[in-house]
Copies of this chain bind each other. A is one copy, B any other.
Amino acid sequence: MRVQIEYPDWVIQQIDWERCYRAPEERMRFVIGLARENVLHRTGGPFGAAVFESQTGRLVSVGVNLVVSQQNAMLHAEIVALMMAQHRLRSFTLNTDPKIQYELVTSCEPCAMCLGAIFASKVRRVVWGASREDAIKIGFDEGPVFPESYEYLKARGIEFIGNICCAEARAVLDLYIQHGGIIYV
């Protein structure tokens, strides 16, 4: 048995791996674009994510939700982006080089599993668009996340920034419902 995690073809065709995304909004619009394309191509849920080098904005990896298309409940956009980043960097931690800080930018506030993966991967900053409440509103269950969860992670050096371009991020959640997307949790 072997599980293969691969990007849909449109991701490969669309990504410019050399580009740097400097402003937080530019990074966010990029992952919201991934989420939107994922809905339009019907390759998964309405979520996109990417790992960047914080200082330079260099793109390290991207992720889109692949739960339904790859029959794997763990393949949230954040998990895909973090796994791909570690694969590319050949490291099980994103905190090896003190000079480079990595950040995860995601179109929606992470669920309980993804918050745990953020901690395990040692990414240092997390930026999201739509909120947990926005995801719940369209029927997703984000799992056991509490204010104490954030306190725990912040105490271990992870920075969280929410509500960047949130109206644009929410619009992709609505688009998914309009397209009859499956609510898989």
| Chain B residue contacts of A116, Cβ below 8 A | 111-117, 143-144
Does A97 have its Cβ within 8 Å of any Cβ on chain B?
Answer: no
Could you tell me the distance between the alpha carbons of A4 and B185 in the complex, rounded to whole angstroms? 25
B1 A87 Cβ-Cβ under 8 A: yes
Minimum distance in angstroms from A87 CB to a CB of chain B: 5
Does A10 have its Cβ within 8 Å of any Cβ on chain B?
Answer: no
The residue from B76, B84, B112, B146 contacting A115, defined by CB atoms under 8 A apart: B112
Q: State how many copies of this chain the complex holds.
A: 2
| Chain B residue contacts of A71, Cβ below 8 A | 86-87, 90-92
Q: A74 and B68 in contact (CB under 8 A), knowing A1-B61, A112-B115, A113-B116? A: no
Does A163 have its Cβ within 8 Å of any Cβ on chain B?
Answer: no
| Chain B residue contacts of A79, Cβ below 8 A | 74
| Chain B residue contacts of A88, Cβ below 8 A | 1
Does A54 have its Cβ within 8 Å of any Cβ on chain B?
Answer: no
Does A167 have its Cβ within 8 Å of any Cβ on chain B?
Answer: no
A83 B93 Cβ-Cβ under 8 A: no
Residue of B at shortest CB range from A93?
Answer: B73
Beyond A73-B92, A92-B184: 16 further Cβ-contacts under 8 Å? A1-B7, A1-B61, A3-B5, A5-B5, A67-B92, A68-B92, A72-B86, A74-B79, A113-B115, A115-B116, A116-B143, A119-B141, A119-B185, A144-B152, A144-B153, A146-B148
Name A residues whose Cβ lies closer than 8 Å to a Cβ of B. 1-7, 61, 67-68, 70-74, 76, 79, 82-84, 86-88, 90-93, 111-117, 119-122, 141, 143-144, 146, 148-149, 152-153, 156, 184-185
A-B contact pairs, 17 of them (CB 8 A): A1-B87, A4-B4, A67-B92, A73-B82, A73-B86, A73-B92, A74-B120, A111-B120, A112-B149, A113-B113, A113-B119, A114-B116, A115-B116, A116-B116, A119-B144, A144-B153, A146-B146
